[in-house]
């Protein structure tokens, strides 16, 4: 299967394609961090960044990644450009696609990023919707690949997500099942992926949405050998290599007050050091951030230098996004013949693999 034009959903990509992008990201991370060599693969290229929601990590990652690659990024905040108002989404996408080399969008409604991709001649990357957060998946997978328990492959690992079925939780089910991992959601009934809890709609529509999410995960497992468990029994997290959580207070227009969420999730689903040790003595903590300290996770876990990966995970947003941009946008030839850097062979091999997969 040829590499898709757009990065809207990791389920559109094969495991091999995703791992090839991660390899490119790791090679560029090494080139830049170890050798100070910036591969200008997108020299003079422009990225347009549409944000309908606030962002720290995603915005900074995309913008600085583009600079690292020799290109430029433009930020369009809420209300600053046409997006499905007076001008149709298709017309906006067509015009932006003629002015830019690559686009990203963080949208309120998933159908808008799909519409941008359908109408634009250039690649469109989903910077998060109410449905999924695929660039977060890439940063998370990179972090797990860099921190595999001794003697284990990614396929041997378990990720336990604790708490609410946010789009990050759903996204983790997608990427873990795609990789052939064991994925667990330990969360209360009514807030499980299979409930479609955060989907906007009638109870019947939410149930149908939850069913659709599980079908996607199960299809991935059939192909990869992965497994999925959804449970409100803490026993389900025993043996987890990675313990992951996200905020409890809902998303977008589904937001509820923190207090009502506390009633549902606290204290059973708060990630404490006792919970980490129950999962396993060497389990690692992950969080997409921003975190609400003292709610879904305590300081002791978040700040533990041995157990917490959430800080390197945030940094890996940029390293993986740099690779996505370089993989999807039209690349500038890498003129590094006269440059000596330790990741040169890895970087060239990773680019060759991407080219093969795009052929
Ligand atoms: N994890 C994440 O997407 O962070 P931001 O909302 O700050 O971009």
- Give per-residue pLDDT as tens, 71-84: 999 999 988 888 87
Residue 99, exposed/middle/buried by CB under 10 A (0-12, 13-18, 19+)?
exposed
**293 C-alpha vs ligand 1 centroid, how far in Å?**
16
Q: Which letter does DSSP use for residue 207 in this model?
A: H
Look at residue 253 in the predicted model and tell me its pLDDT: 44
Look at residue 250 in the predicted model and tell me its pLDDT: 58
- Give per-residue pLDDT as tens, 45-68: 999 999 999 999 999 999 999 999
Task: Name residue 260's beta-bridge partners.
Answer: none
Asked if residue 85 has pLDDT above 70, the reply is yes
Give the chain's domains with CATH numbers. 10-133+317-342 (3.40.50.1370), 148-308 (3.40.50.1370)
- Tell me the pLDDT band of 257, cut-offs 50, 70 and 90: very low
> Which H/E stretch holds residue 183?
strand 182-186
The closest of 6, 39, 25 to 143, measured between CA atoms, is 25
Measuring from atom 3 of ligand 1, which residue has the nearest CA?
58
Share of the chain above pLDDT 70, in %: 97
Asked if residue 10 has pLDDT above 50, the reply is yes
d(CA 142, CA 314): 11
The closest of 134, 234, 241 to 182, measured between CA atoms, is 241
> Which H/E stretch holds residue 113?
helix 110-119
Look at residue 252 in the predicted model and tell me its pLDDT: 43
Contact 185, 169 (CB under 8 A): yes
In this prediction the pTM is: 0.97
Sheet containing 242-245: order of strands: 227-231, 182-186, 158-162, 242-245, 284-287
Out of 106, 290, 312, 320, give the residue to mutate to test ligand 1, the one with the largest number of ligand atoms within 8 Å of its CB: 290
């Amino acid at each position: 299967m040829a590499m898709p034009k757009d990065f809207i959903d990791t389920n559109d990509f094969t495991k091999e394609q995703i791992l090839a992008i991660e390899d490119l990201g790791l090679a560029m991370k090494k080139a830049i961090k170890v050798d100070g060599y910036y591969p200008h693969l997108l020299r003079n290229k422009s990225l347009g960044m549409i944000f309908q929601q606030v962002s720290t990590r995603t915005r900074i990652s995309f913008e600085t990644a583009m600079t690292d690659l020799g290109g430029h990024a433009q930020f369009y905040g809420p209300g600053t450009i046409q997006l499905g108002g007076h001008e149709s989404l298709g017309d906006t996408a067509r015009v932006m696609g003629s002015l830019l080399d690559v686009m990203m969008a963080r949208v309120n409604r998933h159908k808008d990023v799909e519409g941008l991709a359908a109408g634009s001649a250039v690649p469109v990357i989903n910077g998060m919707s109410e449905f999924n957060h695929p660039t977060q998946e890439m940063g998370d997978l990179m972090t797990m690949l860099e921190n595999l328990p001794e003697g284990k492959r990614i396929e041997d690992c378990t990720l336990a997500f604790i708490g609410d079925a946010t789009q990050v939780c759903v996204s983790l089910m997608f990427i873990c099942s795609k990789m052939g991992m064991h994925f667990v959601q330990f969360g209360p009934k009514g807030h499980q992926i299979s409930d479609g809890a955060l989907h906007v709609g009638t109870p019947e529509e939410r149930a149908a949405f939850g069913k659709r999410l599980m079908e996607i995960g199960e299809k991935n497992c059939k192909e990869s050998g992965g497994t999925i468990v959804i449970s409100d029994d803490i026993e389900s997290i025993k043996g987890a290599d990675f313990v992951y959580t996200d905020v409890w207070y809902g998303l977008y227009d589904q937001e509820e007050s923190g207090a009502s969420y506390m009633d549902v999730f606290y204290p059973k689903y708060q990630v404490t050091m006792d919970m980490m040790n129950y999962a396993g003595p060497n389990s690692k903590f992950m969080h997409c951030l921003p975190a609400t300290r003292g709610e879904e996770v305590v300081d002791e876990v978040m700040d533990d230098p041995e157990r917490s990966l959430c800080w390197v995970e945030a940094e890996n947003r940029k390293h993986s996004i740099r690779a996505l941009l370089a993989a999807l946008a039209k690349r500038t030839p890498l003129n590094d013949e006269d440059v000596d850097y330790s990741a040169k062979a890895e970087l060239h091999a990773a680019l060759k693999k991407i080219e093969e997969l795009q052929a």
